[in-house]
A and B are shown apart, each in its own frame.
Chain A
Amino acid sequence: MSFPWAKQYAPTNPFMRWMDEKLPLPRLVYNAVGAGYPVPRNLSYMWNFGVLAGFFLVLQIVTGVVLAMHYASDATVAFGKVEHIMRDVNWGWLMRYAHANGASFFFIVVYLHIFRGFYYSSYKAPREMIWLLGVVIFLLMMATAFMGYVLPWGQMSFWGAKVITGLFGAIPLIGEPLQVWLLGGYAPDDAALNRFFSLHFLLPFVIAGVVILHIWALHIPGSSNPTGVEVKSESDTVPFHPYYTAKDGFGLGVVLIFFTIMTFFAPNMLGHPDNYIEANPLSTPALIVPEWYFYPFYAILRAFTFDFILPAKLWGVLAMFASILVWFFLPWLDKSPVRSGHYRPLFRKFFWFGLIPCMAALFYLGGAHAEEPYIMLSQIATAYYFLHFLVILPIVSSIERPDPLPYSITEAVLGSDRKAVLGENAEPAV
């Protein structure tokens, strides 16, 4: 689908015409990310992160396929194979550092993409399906990243895998058999390492598939925009190419500058030193933590320390999964007719002074030692997290009085929408 004024693909080159008849792939690209996709003209740089996430997915697949050529998922040699990549494989160190930091950057841009969605309520009708698919992508990313971190078979790989798979042990009755089945043993070993490698190779392609669905679903209603007002006329949009290819190109450049700095000058900053020690089931690290991008959920897991009817550990596991599953319900929890946080004064206060500090705290606390005052702080942050999405959001959206919206995107950009005021005969403002 597209707006009626979308440009039509009309190849002049005979080969491209021939191609268009046989397999209209160029037409698909033209309509998806080319001049054939009209996009609101007022998108801010917060709308860059979808394209950036796509870039990092491709980077991860490319570097990952090369790394897999030199790796072996055998617990006796895996750690040494990674060192082989770092020392003896031509540019192996670059592949591995780019892959490790690429994972971090993938999560950074995806978190920004998700929080853009929270602030501008991008999840609202008619874009619920885009949002739901997005949450699926995020869950797949978490599974993929978790299994990828196990592959170097360092101390954090091993103990992280043990702790996270141990969570399944908290499920009543079937917990322990389930955990043994998932790991292929009582503790992570060859069986677990082999299946994690297999799945770590598979899941990125599943992610790529869901990304295609995510973009397909996006093209039905078209992109949202910072005003949250839907596109009304041609003057509200510009073609994706060249306008947003140029804007995304600049955004990509800026992010790649940071990525270059991290990969080449601080490649281990986001990692943990313990993972340069080979896995040793007999020696437990002083502090077992996952990768930084899981910290908020790890903090929620550890915040539950009180056995209330159910064991504390089970509460923690339930809360950790629930903390992401609530995102699936946002389109129906937030009933405000206005999308953009710009025009929702009360919602905006809770976003900036509630959700953002809460997430920042959870990010910090998930990496801290499990001791006071960190436990108490993570309990407060966890309480706010659930209150925000499940209690505050539904209530605020029913009681708040939104600010007046602009008539159209054009009016928001130009201060007036001549066509709307003067009718069809007016010259377009563009």
Chain B
Amino acid sequence: MIRIIAILVGLGFTGVVMLAFVTGAWTAATEGMGEETAEHVFHEEAKGPEGGFSFDGPLGNWDYAQLQRGYQVYREVCAACHSLKYVAFRDLAQIGYTEGQVKALAAEWVVPGIDPDTGETTTRPGLPTDYFPSPYENNIAAAAANNNAIPPDLSLMTKARHGGTDYVYSLLTGYEPLPAELREEFPEFETPEGLHFNPYFANLNLAMAPPLTADGQVTYAEGNPDPTIRQMAADVSAFLYWTAEPKLEQRRQTGLWFLVFMLFATILAWFSKKQIWSAVKPKRED
């Protein structure tokens, strides 16, 4: 009885889903599998800088000089519009700055404060314990200043997008005029006023104007590579990977010890299992 009911229920579900399949297949056959769109055809996969990042691969690590250059790019370019709210100035000690340098760097920023005498809101120079301040009072101010697009917080940006650091790098270096082939294939496609064509962005039209526009936009200290657009983009992408994953170094080092220990323990477990089972393992008698 239960098997007959089961067969009926099974055929029921199968029938309904096959009806859905047939209607879907009919639509696909008569109307095609959906139009090709410009977003589909001209979207490009994120590519990292030539030679990759120092932290690529399972054992890669930070290049402090690069992170410090990236911090400089963030400070001088990105910070005009983008916040970094999960990072505190004290965290900069992790990328090779001394305690004194961190204090000096923090003091370059203006953060909201409270006047100790009157209790009124005011501003003061940053302290190492402060978090990076937001460039806008609130989201409404951010939207108003940016053609209604709120510049996202960058603390976790490299973990919050497919492609991670490569995506950020590609986006920063990927601005180009609308390609002629695209214009030809999709005459309807256009980049509306105030948006910017970038093949690495999901819908190809990005609100952010190209932030890095000229080689030498940021002046690096002596002994550093030339601040070309690509170099600055790579440096700030690396810096933003550190802001997203500050414990990377500790994680990989700990992981290595864990792995060595686990391999050792597992080999021991294998021999102990072999030893214990040797007495009863099949000794075929016939």
Contact = CB atoms under 8 A, between A and B. Distances in A.
Chain A complexes with chain B: yes
Interface in B128-170: 152, 155-156, 159-162, 164
A158 B92 CA distance: 32
A41 B280 contact: yes
B20 A312 contact: yes
A268 B156 CA distance: 13
Nearest to B271: A250
Interface residues of A, number: 69
A246 B255 contact: no
B200 to A, nearest CB: 15
Contacts, number: 179
B10 A86 contact: no
Given A87-B246, A246-B277, A415-B284, A319 B13 contact: yes
A247 B58 CA distance: 30
Contacts of B2: 329, 332-333
A9 interface: no
Contact of B23 (A249, A261, A277, A306): A306
A246 B286 contact: no
Contacts of B24: 305, 372, 375-376, 379
Interface in B236-286: 244, 246-247, 250-252, 254-256, 258-259, 262-263, 265-266, 269-270, 272-273, 276-277, 279-280, 282-286
B214 interface: no
A117 interface: no
A268 B272 CA distance: 35
Nearest to A268: B159
Contact of B3 (A268, A274, A394): A394
Interface string A413-430: 111101000000000011
A213 to B, nearest CB: 24
Interface stretch (A14-22, A344-352, A385-393): A385-393
B254 A333 contact: no
The listed residue with most A CB atoms (<10 A of its CB), out of B3, B252, B269, B282, is B3
Interface of A: 41, 80, 83, 86-87, 93-94, 97, 238, 242-243, 246-247, 249-250, 252-254, 256-257, 260-261, 263-265, 267-268, 273-274, 276-277, 286, 303-306, 308, 312, 315, 319, 322, 326, 329, 332-333, 335, 371-373, 375-376, 379-380, 382-383, 386-387, 389-391, 394-395, 413-416, 418, 429-430
| Among all A-B residue pairs, the 8 with the closest Cβ atoms | A264-B255, A390-B10, A253-B266, A306-B20, A276-B160, A379-B21, A394-B3, A250-B269
Given A376-B21, A379-B24, 6 more contacts: A253-B262, A332-B2, A333-B2, A376-B24, A376-B28, A390-B13
30 contacts: A83-B155, A246-B273, A246-B277, A249-B269, A249-B273, A253-B265, A253-B269, A257-B259, A260-B255, A261-B259, A273-B161, A276-B160, A277-B160, A303-B20, A306-B16, A326-B6, A372-B33, A373-B33, A379-B17, A379-B20, A379-B21, A386-B9, A390-B7, A390-B10, A391-B7, A391-B10, A394-B7, A414-B283, A415-B282, A416-B286
Interface of B: 2-3, 6-7, 9-11, 13-14, 16-21, 23-25, 28, 33-34, 58, 86, 91, 152, 155-156, 159-162, 164, 202, 244, 246-247, 250-252, 254-256, 258-259, 262-263, 265-266, 269-270, 272-273, 276-277, 279-280, 282-286
